Structure 1
Amino acid sequence: MLHTHQSFAVTDLHRLAVSILVSSGVPADDADLTARSLVQADQRGIFSHGLLRLPLYTEAIRLGGINPTPTLSYSSKAAAVAVLDADAALGQVAMQSAVDKVLEMGRVQGIAAVAVQNSSHYGAGAFWSDQLAAAGFLSFITSSTGPVVAPHGGTTKVLGTNPLTLGAPASADWPLTADLATSNGAYGKVIAARNEGQQLPEGWAVDTEGNPTTDPNEAAAGSMIPFGNHKGSAVSVLLEAFASSLTAATYAYETVDIWSSPSSRMNNGHLIVGINAEAFTSRSHTEARVADLQQRVRDSGPAGREIHAPGDPERGEEGAAATSVRLPRSTAEQLRALALKLSLNISI
């Protein structure tokens, strides 16, 4: 969809992102974490969840929608369960704490879940499922978002893009990973298309009258469409419940998105469930079995046709972008403008 790109060193992008966040009042360690999350998304070709988001994060910090120095607090009613109040933190800060908590409880209990309230956008979900897989955990992760999706057949924005991330550790290559929006396209891709002057694929969105549109401006005013017709819509509705009903987090239709009002404290809800493979047969058994499945998927095509297991395309992109990333031109221009606005003596 995006045709105009510029290449930049990964180290330069990371350094710039950290500097921008620190200048916005984010502590250095949290800035490093958030920058790594965003840059990795760009390395994997997921530009909708990469540095495109950084100007929005900093504007939300400036206007109070995101708290750069939150006080994270946990409560619990069971040994393998916890609720995290993120105090309007950057979503990456909230999620890193939640992932660490899941690993801590799951190593003892075999399975653990953390529900998060009062958070914000956490970037690409695979950034978190990869950490769990590296520790031998299978994972289920979802989140609420701002209101951008109408249920199947509807025209009112009731749902978010309600991301779903599933991960399983494998003994070869990399984890088996599905990381997707439950709308036909991520909302960040609508923003990216608008910034780049591109059209959306057909079937992604409808305008305010419910008519199909490929215009990103009409899509932003109208609604995104769930993937998979009524079945995908059903999955999206249930993910909304999983993400927000366990805590005081808001549903999408109760939320003012920071894309619309950067001063809004979105109160996003996240849910992470981690399953420790070692508590079942064994970690090595599960990792070998997942690797077998992964390879069987890759071998399922006719001779000469490459078939990807879930997660393979993103890993291939990341490998090719290990040292240099091709960013959409509009994202690079926004980063330069932001660095100038913050009087940073650093450029890309």
Structure 2
Amino acid sequence: MVIMDPRYPADALVTLGARALEAADVPPEDAELTSRALVEADRRGIASHGLLRLPLYTSALQAGGINARPAMTWVREHGATAVLDADSGLGQVAMATVTERVASIAKELGTGVVAVQNSTHYGAGAYWTERLAADGLVAVITSTTGPSVTPFGGVEKILGTNPLTIAAPSAGPGALTADMATSAGAYGKVVAARNQGEPVPEGWAVDAAGQPTTDPAEALAGALLPFGGAKGSAVAVLLEALSASLTTASYAYETEDIWANHASRMNTGHLVLAIDTAAFTSREHSERRVAELQEKVRGSAGPDGTTFAPGDIEHANAERHRSSVPLADSTVTQLVELLNSLGLPADQLVPEPVE
């Protein structure tokens, strides 16, 4: 018998998250935007980037690691490129600004590239790439993070989890989307495993002495490993460079993570690339061809198997959880503690009846 996590009304969770952020002095519009992005990650089954992060965000807002009311500025604009200084604001607020700008550039010039400095965690990357894909744009996003990953053959935390998100618009029911950490497992998943008292898979991490471990606490004290051995490590290093070297953003090894110090100004760097499909053969042609590829991938399974195109599982989760969202008990406990600490009622955290 499979025990399912309790489900909570999605709209109530968005309101709850927004109120918590507002209590930490975030303007209502920014609070609602950020909360909606977190809940969307939970809807898609990406709990590591969902409301699990809300206590961290509020603690960092209160301690000064995240600026509740940033004065974001465009510090450079040249041709199809621009640089945004996010003034240590919420990464979701920075990304909302960036995606609007990069889409405008791409629609005018065929492609746009925007780099970001002085930012913070922006949540699940697919939330942003799929907003661009819905506008007919191929989107690529990457980012620095806090130090958590050692390069292939190493022990020291030099890299971040360096997420890579790519989305191509499709004539099918969902964009062709890959959203992944370049570590063997996402940092948030390791935190979630620790919170839930569960091990992490073999090959995800080493302890502080460089020995393989499945204990998430030892993994957090040690280092995560890159995916794919030396090849994955090379990808992670290049993404680190692209995310930070184009601006004054910090590399992971220069950063103190807000998980360790809520007052840390991490100076996170992002890079966002958008390509207008209409600038090539046509938007209709591109989206039809992507849909054809998706169907070929799905149809490649044997008689007893199932093959998913990238993004299919997350799209199916989001559809299944359109109105109500599953949350792990450990996340609910943390949310209740957070609301109590902020003097907010926790009565919105009432699970729906089990059918």
Q: Tell me the TM-score normalised to structure 1 length.
A: 0.98
1:19-38 to 2 correspondence within 5 Å? Answer: 19-38=19-38
1:99 corresponds to: 99
Look up the equivalent residue of 1:307 and give its one-letter code: T
1:114-193 to 2 correspondence within 5 Å? Answer: 114-193=114-193
Look up the equivalent residue of 2:101 and give its one-letter code: K
What is the Cα deviation at residue 12 of structure 1? 1.5
* Cα deviation 1:129-180 (Å, max 9, x = unaligned): 0011001000110000000000000000000000000110001101000000
SS of the equivalent of 1:260 reads coil
Is the CA contact (8 Å cut-off) linking 2:48 and 2:192 kept in structure 1? yes
Is the CA contact (8 Å cut-off) linking 1:126 and 1:177 kept in structure 2? yes
What is the Cα deviation at residue 100 of structure 1? 0.5
2:51 corresponds to: 51
2:293 corresponds to: 293
Distance 1:172 1:66, change over 3 A: same
1:258-269 to 2 correspondence within 5 Å? Answer: 258-269=258-269
1:8 corresponds to: 8
Is the CA contact (8 Å cut-off) linking 2:166 and 2:177 kept in structure 1? yes
What is the Cα deviation at residue 55 of structure 1? 0.2
What is the Cα deviation at residue 306 of structure 1? 1.7
Is the CA contact (8 Å cut-off) linking 2:149 and 2:225 kept in structure 1? yes
Report the Cα distance in structure 2 between the residues aligned to 1:219 and 1:280, rounded to whole angstroms: 46
* Unpaired runs of at least 5, structure 1: none
Report the Cα distance in structure 1 between the residues aligned to 2:282 and 2:204, rounded to whole angstroms: 42
SS of the equivalent of 2:258 reads coil
Report the Cα distance in structure 2 between the residues aligned to 1:143 and 1:3, rounded to whole angstroms: 35
Report the Cα distance in structure 1 between the residues aligned to 2:3 and 2:146, rounded to whole angstroms: 28
Is the CA contact (8 Å cut-off) linking 2:336 and 2:346 kept in structure 1? no
Report the Cα distance in structure 1 between the residues aligned to 2:208 and 2:75, rounded to whole angstroms: 42
Look up the equivalent residue of 1:274 and give its one-letter code: A
1:317 corresponds to: 317
What is the Cα deviation at residue 6 of structure 1? 2.5
Is the CA contact (8 Å cut-off) linking 2:168 and 2:176 kept in structure 1? yes
Look up the equivalent residue of 2:23 and give its one-letter code: S
Is the CA contact (8 Å cut-off) linking 2:176 and 2:310 kept in structure 1? yes
* Cα deviation 1:223-266 (Å, max 9, x = unaligned): 00000000000000000000000000000000000000000010
SS of the equivalent of 2:149 reads coil
Is the CA contact (8 Å cut-off) linking 1:176 and 1:311 kept in structure 2? yes
Report the Cα distance in structure 2 between the residues aligned to 1:194 and 1:77, rounded to whole angstroms: 43
2:270 corresponds to: 270
* Cα deviation 1:73-94 (Å, max 9, x = unaligned): 0033422100000000100000
1:279 corresponds to: 279
* Cα deviation 1:192-213 (Å, max 9, x = unaligned): 0111111111110000111100
Report the Cα distance in structure 1 between the residues aligned to 2:33 and 2:15, rounded to whole angstroms: 12
* Unpaired runs of at least 5, structure 2: 350-355
Is the CA contact (8 Å cut-off) linking 1:159 and 1:236 kept in structure 2? yes
* Cα deviation 1:305-343 (Å, max 9, x = unaligned): 221000001111111111111111111011111111111
Report the Cα distance in structure 1 between the residues aligned to 2:130 and 2:139, rounded to whole angstroms: 9
Look up the equivalent residue of 1:161 and give its one-letter code: T
Report the Cα distance in structure 1 between the residues aligned to 2:164 and 2:77, rounded to whole angstroms: 26
Report the Cα distance in structure 2 between the residues aligned to 1:267 and 1:134, rounded to whole angstroms: 29
1:69-88 to 2 correspondence within 5 Å? Answer: 69-88=69-88
Moved over 6 A (4+): none
What is the Cα deviation at residue 346 of structure 1? 4.4
1:339 corresponds to: 339
Which sits farther off after the overlay, 298-307 or 168-177? 298-307
Look up the equivalent residue of 1:27 and give its one-letter code: P
1:62 corresponds to: 62
